[in-house]
Amino acid sequence: MKYYRQLIISILAWGLVFQLGVVAWVPVASADQLPVQDYPECIDYSPRGEAVDEKNLLTRQIEGATHYFIRLTFQGQGNLRLSQDALQRIRSTCHFYSEGGSQTSMIDDELLVRMEQNPDILSYLFKLDSYAYLYIPIKPLRSQTSYQVYIGPGIIEDENGHGNQAQVWSFTTLANPIVTGLSPASLGEDYEYWEPVRIYGDFFADSVEARFFTDGKDRGEEAYKVKVADADGNPFEDIDQRRYLKAYLPRKERLEPGLYHVEVANSDHHRQVLHNALSIVQTSSLPVPGDLVREHRADRYGEVQETVLLSRDTLKLSDIGRNRDWLRLDLDKLLGRDTWESHIILKQDAYLGELEIISNWADLNFYGVKAWAGTGDPVLTIGHGAPGDIPALIGKLGVFKTCSSFLEVKGENINIDLVKVRLPFLAPPGADLQVLRFDDKRRIWFDQAFRIDWLNSQVVFDSRIPGIFIVVEQPPGWGK
């Protein structure tokens, strides 16, 4: 028994190897004698997290072009270097895909090939400072996308040839916010700043900001506080389960009376503008009439009726608009720049060869305007659409991004041969724009033929059909 015990101890201490019928004894080190393999230690990587701005990744200008990189940080300084086959390892062992996507690698293989051909730009992959940094070139990323990253082993090594171990992580890029409406849409200039307005939409980041600006002002005023969720972290929803954020209007310097665009931004590169969405109404020193309507003279053009608190004004044309070849009306001067909805009442049986309307948010030329006789008032309506209808209108746009305010053109008891419209828009040069017309009877959007005046940032189009018009930007690849 003692002999067998010694044999077992000897086998465990030495190790027995059988090869081709030959017995060989190989010494095996004990646990405390095994050498420790010292791999380069990765202590950080970027980007990471659930709200990555894909436009703010690390970039380098290489041979006149901008290239994007992800970065891994390693503990160690002068003892680390790129391995001899680093480029080959990056191309063969690194994987970068979008979740649920086409599995097309986002590694910038084209730049890696150029680095093989030009070793002078190979230095962009590695940097030694307080730490060692490995840079992996990637293709431009998409917003609102989750990515899986696998960085293979052995791309960098120490002086003993010990390479890095593989690293795996994931991250998600920011979404572009969707903004569908605002409530309330009209406030007095002495608004209660502690009461927020609701901005309806979706895909609001925790860091979302809201701004209010008028035409001619790029940045405007920032909301002094924005909330996207309650104390328990639950997103705000109304009784119809529509999501919204709470935006508190500026309180130190309140918004001045005017018509404001509302911008919601998850970052500088992820934003949406809701045009002419908020009206700040000047507090009048006059008593409010019982019927909420004030009347005053508009020079020689007729009478103006101002509907208090509703931003809806009516111009009752005098005989100056009865029968003329051409008439020009400046609605900004006659009804005010901030009027949400303008009504022009013509004399019955009046005829205008051309009625030119100018305003800060659209210029229109109506041709062959003929008012009916013996019926109700002939009314021409130019506005932004009913505020309560705007969320539904935006919802029907789907993936399209709005680039202008809504423009509603319609008439009652009136015939119009043609209307020519010049509608301003906000969009970057070269954007893929489209003009749509909403048919109120069929409740759907139709394509509208148009041309773009890039110099004046306007779309120009003709229409013989009333409706609500909007300029939108088509998503990449739409219709292809």
pTM of the model: 0.58
Q: Calculate mean pLDDT across residues 353-381.
A: 89
Q: Is the pLDDT of residue 478 over 80?
A: no
The pLDDT mean for the chain works out to 83
Q: What is the pLDDT of residues 250-272, one digit of tens each?
A: 988 889 888 888 999 999 889 88
- Cα dist from 283 to 185, 187, 309, whole Å: 16, 10, 10
**Which pLDDT belongs to residue 471?**
93
**Which pLDDT belongs to residue 300?**
72
**Which pLDDT belongs to residue 394?**
78
Give 310's pLDDT tier (boundaries 50, 70, 90). Answer: low
Q: Calculate mean pLDDT across residues 66-73.
A: 95
Give the whole-angstrom CA distance, residue 275 versus residue 390. 11
Q: Is the pLDDT of residue 292 over 60?
A: no
Q: Residue 191 contacts by C-beta under 8 Å, 6 or more apart in sequence?
A: 249, 254, 255, 280
Q: Are 200 and 181 in contact (CB under 8 A)?
A: yes
Q: Calculate mean pLDDT across residues 271-280.
A: 85
Give 400's pLDDT tier (boundaries 50, 70, 90). Answer: confident
Residues in the chain, how many? 480
**Which pLDDT belongs to residue 5?**
44
The amino acid present at 261, given as its one-letter code, is H
Give 101's pLDDT tier (boundaries 50, 70, 90). Answer: low
Give the whole-angstrom CA distance, residue 124 versus residue 74. 16
Q: Is the pLDDT of residue 218 over 70?
A: no
Q: Is the pLDDT of residue 290 over 80?
A: no
- Which residue in 79, 142, 135 sits closest to 112, CA to CA? 135
Q: Which domains does the chain have, with CATH numbers?
A: 2-33 (no CATH), 42-173 (2.60.40), 178-281 (2.60.40.10), 293-473 (2.60.220)
Q: What is the pLDDT of residues 2-15, one digit of tens each?
A: 444 444 434 433 34
**Which pLDDT belongs to residue 229?**
92
Q: Calculate mean pLDDT across residues 111-130.
A: 90
448's tokens: 């509208």
Q: Calculate mean pLDDT across residues 225-232.
A: 92
Higher-confidence residue of 375 and 25: namely 375
H runs (alpha helix) in 273-384: 331-335
Nearest-5° Cα angle at 24, 21 to 30: 140
Q: Residue 234 contacts by C-beta under 8 Å, 6 or more apart in sequence?
A: none
**Which pLDDT belongs to residue 21?**
38
Beta bridge partners of 45: 72
Higher-confidence residue of 217 and 300: namely 300
Give the whole-angstrom CA distance, residue 141 versus residue 166. 22
Q: Which residue has the tokens 């646990």?
A: 31
Q: What is the pLDDT of residues 420-454, one digit of tens each?
A: 999 998 887 888 999 999 987 788 899 999 999 98
Q: Are 381 and 433 in contact (CB under 8 A)?
A: no
User: What single string gives the DSSP state of each residue in 348-407?
Assistant: TT-EEEEEEEE-SS-EEEEEEEEE-SSSS--EEEEES--GGGHHHHHHHHTTPEE-S--E
Give, to the nearest 10 degrees, the angle between helix 86-93 and helix 109-117.
160
